[in-house]
Every structure is written in structure tokens, then in C-alpha cells.
């Protein structure tokens, strides 16, 4: 028998159990569902967009808040700091509130903590993991190639070595 990865073995077990799914009443079947969900999460392509509640998110949104087109969002002014009487008369107040709400929505769908966006120049940007004394670049952008992975990886399980911390949303999506 050929040696296979844990992911392949979980998939094999899942396919086999899927046939008998309605006949099995084993108490650990729910846990197996969670293992399968986590396995699927680990095998997700880092360069594929994802859907949550029928809304599409750019793959960079796993790391930093961004638009569906992949434009990283700057943190806008928090409208909670607006002077209610003076600033609410400002014609841009509603736009500031919308901008803040959109940013918070995108931020709530980030899956991994500790990543930052840095614009290097007009042609280059990075999304990197800020570690204790250095930055570990995960995505690099140049105008010609657009975003690409700066390391030789393309699925989430390949970045386990970075010992990333999942956000509460990331834990929910991963099945943990």
C-alpha cells in the first residue's frame, strides 16, 4: 500500500463513510465531521477567493481587510470619536460611517492574526507576518504580476510552520 498523507486518508475515510452516512449512528460521527472540515480548511488554496454567507471575499482578506478586487483597506476614522452635534452636520459624516462599517465587516472576516500591509513604492507592496524582530513576507505585489505568494506554498497547511494564530472567525471557519 502506498504511503499517503493524513489529508488523503481523511478524505478516503470521508468518502467511505459518506455512503453509509444515514445508517451510522456512532457518537463520534460529529467529531469526524469537524476533522473533515478542518482537513478541507487546511487544503484550501491560498490564492482562491472564498464565500461566507453568499458573499465573496478576496483571498487576501484571510490576512488583512481588503475589497473583493484585492485593494487593501486603510483603517478609516472611527465615527465614535465624532462630536455628535458638529460632525453629524458634516456632509461626509454618512460616508465616514459607511467606510467604518465596511472596514469592520472586512476585518471581521480576517482569519489569521498578526499580518500587516506595507506599500513599498508605486510598484510593490507586501502582506507580511510581523514577528518579534522581523517581518515574514507571505504575499508580494507588483504591478506586472499582481499579488503572488512569496514562498513556495499554495495551501493553508503549508503555512502551519509559521505558528499562526486564528481569529475567532478563523477558528469558526476552520472547524476548530
Written as tens digits, the pLDDT of the chain (176 aa) is: 454 566 777 777 667 665 555 555 555 566 677 777 888 888 888 888 888 888 898 888 999 999 888 888 888 887 777 666 655 566 777 787 888 899 999 999 999 998 888 888 877 888 888 876 667 777 777 766 677 777 666 888 888 777 788 899 988 888 77
What pLDDT, on the 0 to 100 scale, is given for residue 35?
78
Domain boundaries, the chain: 1-43, 44-166
CB-CB contact of 142 with 123 (8 Å):
yes
Alpha-carbon span 122 to 119, nearest angstrom: 8
Alpha-carbon span 138 to 153, nearest angstrom: 9
Alpha-carbon span 14 to 6, nearest angstrom: 12
What pLDDT, on the 0 to 100 scale, is given for residue 65?
94
What pLDDT, on the 0 to 100 scale, is given for residue 50?
87
What pLDDT, on the 0 to 100 scale, is given for residue 8?
73
What pLDDT, on the 0 to 100 scale, is given for residue 143?
63
What pLDDT, on the 0 to 100 scale, is given for residue 1?
44
What pLDDT, on the 0 to 100 scale, is given for residue 126?
84
**Quick one: how far is CA 154 from the chain centroid?**
13
What pLDDT, on the 0 to 100 scale, is given for residue 108?
93
Supply the pTM of this predicted model: 0.75
* Cβ neighbours of 110 (radius 10 Å): 20
Amino acid at each position: 500500500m502506498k504511503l499517503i498523507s493524513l489529508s488523503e486518508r481523511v478524505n478516503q475515510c470521508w468518502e467511505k463513510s459518506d455512503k453509509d452516512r444515514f445508517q451510522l449512528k456512532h457518537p463520534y460521527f460529529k467529531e469526524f465531521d469537524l476533522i473533515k472540515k478542518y482537513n478541507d480548511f487546511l487544503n484550501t488554496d491560498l490564492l482562491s477567493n472564498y464565500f461566507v454567507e453568499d458573499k465573496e471575499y478576496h483571498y487576501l482578506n484571510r490576512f488583512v481587510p481588503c475589497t473583493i478586487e484585492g485593494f487593501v483597506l486603510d483603517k478609516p476614522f472611527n465615527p465614535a470619536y465624532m462630536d455628535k452635534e458638529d460632525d453629524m452636520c458634516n456632509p461626509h459624516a454618512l460616508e465616514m460611517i459607511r467606510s467604518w462599517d465596511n472596514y469592520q465587516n472586512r476585518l471581521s472576516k480576517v482569519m489569521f492574526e498578526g499580518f500587516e500591509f506595507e506599500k513599498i513604492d508605486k510598484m510593490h507592496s507586501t502582506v507580511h507576518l510581523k514577528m518579534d524582530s522581523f517581518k515574514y513576507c507571505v504575499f508580494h505585489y507588483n504591478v506586472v504580476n499582481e499579488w503572488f505568494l512569496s514562498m513556495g506554498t499554495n495551501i493553508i497547511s503549508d503555512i502551519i510552520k509559521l505558528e499562526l494564530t486564528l481569529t475567532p472567525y478563523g477558528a469558526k471557519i476552520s472547524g476548530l
